[in-house]
Amino acid sequence: MQDVKTILEHYGVLNKQFRLKEVTHTEVAIPIILEKLLGKCKSSLLRDWNIEHTEGQIVMPFSKSHLIKLTSIRKVLVDSISDLFYGKTKKLLCKGDLSDLPNGWQIHGDMLLLPKECMVRSTWQLIKPEIWEIFCSVLHVARIAKCERICENGYRSSQVKLVKGENGWISRKENGITYLYDITKCMFSDGNITEKLRIASFDCRGMIVVDLFAGIGYFVLPYIIHAGAKKVYACEWNPDAAEALKLNLEVNKVSERCCILFGDNKLVAPKCIADHVNLGLIPSSEESWPVACHALNPSKGGWLHIHSNISEIDIVSPNDEGADVHACKQQSSRAGKMKKWIDWATRKICVLKKMLDDYHMFEWVCRVDHIEHVKSYAPHIDHIVVDIECRPAPSY
């Protein structure tokens, strides 16, 4: 549900003046700005989410379980767990223990994913594993996993622990693309969906794409399936992600249009062939910028799509030297942020141009074509993607 709302917001279709409304026991109405539901947005949304629109509303079919209010579900959990605890210990749960139960969760197929902050009190050890059976019964799932801290091992592997079930493999579908991955080994970022949609709108027919941080195929698959790339070279050094990527290429029937290059992209990335280079690593992909420059086709150049986390504190422009940092933090309007992002990208272009000039031994011209705001991580920290067009100088 949240994915659909995010997509509608991305296209400017969601009418935020009104609330979502339950229409029947199996349908929800989402308020939209009907005149904006045009072109590709309309066709792709109606196809991929089985949405019908009528009289200014989008009506989305959902099962009854999705329409039960979260507070009502939590009450059922609280009552059931309290009864179980009393039956085992002849004691009542205190208010503090109940606050440790989750206020929210995610469901992927038959798997429940719980947040890391919940169920950490020693109290719950007294009624495990029976407590997981209650979650399964109330939420109609068969497997349960729990989030932990992200593992900083160079792979940014998932730190999801399976607490009930035999394996962590799940399936998700976005924009007509199926993603399979082991939730206990690989991460999946819901917040990147707008960027995946943007890539899907590119025209890459006949072009070569190099993805330096392929993962399970977050961007590889949109480049192939929707943007129409002739070939994608996918660099990935996490063996679990590479395994999922291979499976996702097979299940989406596009294996022949992707070459998986396993290992550090500094060692395995191809040179001098790319029309597009995707650098989808945050908080920064700068360490692999030389690799990206080497990958570009020297005869005609191409595009670098650089992901980065940008802090407003870190992007004071040259004209702002000596400016009050607090004043910069307060400049949080969309226009103000965009100016700062452009200043940051303009300075980075000088770095990229020198890399290209030195590596290819002739002069290049680089320009910022577009800056996309993907999501906000925290106040004053934004995930952006900068599209930079890089071409050999006309005299060459």
175 lies in some domain:
no
My answer on whether 263 and 203 are in the same domain is: yes
pLDDT band at 334 (very low <50, low <70, confident <90, very high): low
Question: Quick one: tokens of 60?
Answer: 């989305």
317 lies in some domain:
yes
186 lies in some domain:
no
Question: Among 63, 78, 97, where does a domain finish?
Answer: 63
pLDDT, tens digit, 9 for 90 and up, residues 175-217: 899 999 999 998 887 778 889 999 999 999 999 999 999 999 9
Going by the DSSP 8-state scheme, the letter that residue 253 receives in this structure is T
Residue 1 pLDDT exceeds 60:
no
pLDDT for res 125 = 87
My answer on whether 76 and 160 are in the same domain is: yes
Instruction: Say which residue the tokens 């059976």 belong to.
Output: 133
Residues 6+ apart with CB under 8 A from 19: 31
Domain that holds residue 78: 70-164
Out of 22-36, 281-295, 318-332, 377-391, pick the least confident.
318-332
Q: What is the mean pLDDT of residues 264-283?
A: 96
pLDDT, tens digit, 9 for 90 and up, residues 246-258: 999 999 999 999 9
**Where would I find the H helices in 118-201?**
130-139, 193-200
My answer on whether 32 and 76 are in the same domain is: no
My answer on whether 134 and 149 are in the same domain is: yes
Tell me which H or E stretch contains 354: helix 334-360
Residues 6+ apart with CB under 8 A from 309: 282, 283, 284, 377, 381, 382, 383
270 lies in some domain:
yes
Beta-bridge partners for 261: 235
Q: How many CB atoms lie within 10 A of CB 79?
A: 12
My answer on whether 32 and 138 are in the same domain is: no
pLDDT for res 53 = 45
Question: Among 63, 80, 112, where does a domain finish?
Answer: 63
**What backbone phi and psi angles, to 5 degrees, belong to 19?**
-95, 160
Question: Among 29, 63, 97, where does a domain finish?
Answer: 63
Q: Which of 120, 118, 112, 158 is nearest to 139 (CA)?
A: 112
My answer on whether 59 and 115 are in the same domain is: no
My answer on whether 199 and 295 are in the same domain is: yes
CATH of the domain at 108: 3.30.300.110
179 lies in some domain:
no
Residue 284 pLDDT exceeds 80:
yes
23 lies in some domain:
yes
CATH of the domain at 212: 3.40.50.150
Q: What is the mean pLDDT of residues 348-352?
A: 95
Residue 114 pLDDT exceeds 50:
yes
Residue 130 pLDDT exceeds 70:
yes
pLDDT for res 63 = 40
My answer on whether 58 and 95 are in the same domain is: no
Comparing 390 with 14, the larger pLDDT belongs to: 390
My answer on whether 52 and 77 are in the same domain is: no
Tell me the C-alpha distance between 225 and 223, whole Å: 6
Beta-bridge partners for 182: 169
My answer on whether 338 and 215 are in the same domain is: yes
Q: What is the mean pLDDT of residues 307-326?
A: 59
Tell me the C-alpha distance between 209 and 219, whole Å: 10
Tell me the C-alpha distance between 264 and 237, whole Å: 6
Q: What is the mean pLDDT of residues 260-267?
A: 97
45 lies in some domain:
yes
Q: What is the mean pLDDT of residues 231-235?
A: 98
86 lies in some domain:
yes
Beta-bridge partners for 233: 210, 259
How confident is the prediction for the chain on average, in pLDDT?
82
The answer to whether residues 168 and 160 touch, using CB atoms and an 8 Å cutoff, is yes
The answer to whether residues 297 and 268 touch, using CB atoms and an 8 Å cutoff, is no
Out of 16-25, 135-144, 368-377, pick the least confident.
16-25
The structural domain count of the chain equals 3
Q: What b/e readout covers 330-364, taking b as 16+ CB neighbours within 10 angstroms? A: eeeeeeebeebbebbbeebbeebbebbeebbeeeb
Most confident of 5-14, 115-124, 259-268, 320-329: 259-268
Tell me the C-alpha distance between 12 and 103, whole Å: 30
My answer on whether 266 and 372 are in the same domain is: yes
- The predicted model scores a pTM of 0.76
My answer on whether 270 and 351 are in the same domain is: yes
pLDDT, tens digit, 9 for 90 and up, residues 6-56: 666 666 677 766 666 665 655 666 776 655 554 444 444 444 444 444 444
